[in-house]
Amino acid sequence: METMRLALAVLAFALVCLPAHAQEALSVPIPPLTAEAINSADISAIPQLYAPPAEPIDPAMPANRHPDPSVVRLQVLLDRAGASPGVIDGFDGDNVRKAVLAFELMRGLPPDGALDPEVLSALETGGPVIGDYAIIADDLNAIGEPIPRDYAEQAKRKFLGYASIEESLAERFHMDIDLLKALNPGAGYTVGAPVYVAAYGPDLEGEVVRIEADKSLRQVRAYGADDRLIAAYPATIGSEENPSPSGTHIVEGVAPMPEYTYNPKINFQQGENTEVLTIPPGPNGPVGSMWIDLSEPTFGIHGTPVPSLIDKTGSHGCVRLTNWDANELAKMVKPGVPVDFVG
């Protein structure tokens, strides 16, 4: 456990100091973004991942940056292995590197966050990571009206569904919407129409007996009975204005598709709303499609309507994951599981 904590501390420190030449790799020409290019990509050719970065790569991506087929492949392989990179978007960054470190810890490899030959051998399957999917009626039925930002307007709805078929498919396959669109130019998105999606694999199975919410690394880690790391997820954990709790708290229950009670006197101020509001359920609700309730009042582990911002903006004290990561974790926890806030 001390070796693990040291490795996590080293990576957390490394994520704050990048030499200037590392940014130059972002301008290296990459193959066209097609399913074939991603399926045949060589993840060993990602130069920046041979050593941990020295500082976070700016999430405000320059306009001339494009998704890298090799990074897409790496993200899908990590997702399959239980080391979530968050949104599969084809861009290198902190969430990818934290996932590499988590994968090393899962496999008992030296935890240095580097994509070295030993890690490559354990991670690479050789099979395709982008596959065909035929759109079904349920995909279209999940679409609703555009979601207003104002909570008072949201409270007038019955359900906060997806705003588009692209959003629905992207979330189902753990993808960024722009990546889905880039892989499917001119797609009609009708029932029966084939689209290319990330073949991320089935949800993990297992029984989680302990969870760590690491504030410094901004990651949630789930452990089994033998203290083996089962899964790791990038997370937004509180903010300077609304810090998350400290110490150990207990999972008290799991609520899929939860309503959200907005109370500005307890939570935070949203817009000009000063009254208590009940926000309806849905993947685009304030807490997404899953709520894992903690013994600390008003705090929980939950999903989000904006998965691309995980670990890039602060939360209101809670632990925010992508909807799919929150759903997967919820299936593996029961009431009584301790959640340790560390870092």
Known catalytic residues are: 302, 318
Q: Which of 147, 185, 184 is nearest to 164 (CA)?
A: 147
Q: How many helices (H) and strands (E) does the chain have?
A: 11, 13
Name the phi and psi angles at 6, rounded to 5. Answer: -65, -45
DSSP 108: T
Tell me the pairing of strands 338-342 and 130-134: unpaired
Cα separation, 98 vs 316, whole angstroms = 23
Q: Which of 266, 48, 246, 87 is nearest to 170 (CA)?
A: 87
Cα separation, 25 vs 37, whole angstroms = 19
Question: 327 vs 151, 171, 281, 299, CA distance in Å?
Answer: 24, 12, 14, 17
Please classify residue 51 by burial: count the beta carbons closer than 10 Å to its beta carbon, then call 0-12 exposed, 13-18 middle and 19+ buried.
middle
In angstroms, how far is CA 163 from the centroid of its own chain? 20
Taking the CA of residue 277 as centre, how many other CA atoms within 13 Å lie in the half-sphere pointing to its CB?
24
The answer to whether 160 and 144 have CB atoms below 8 angstroms apart is yes
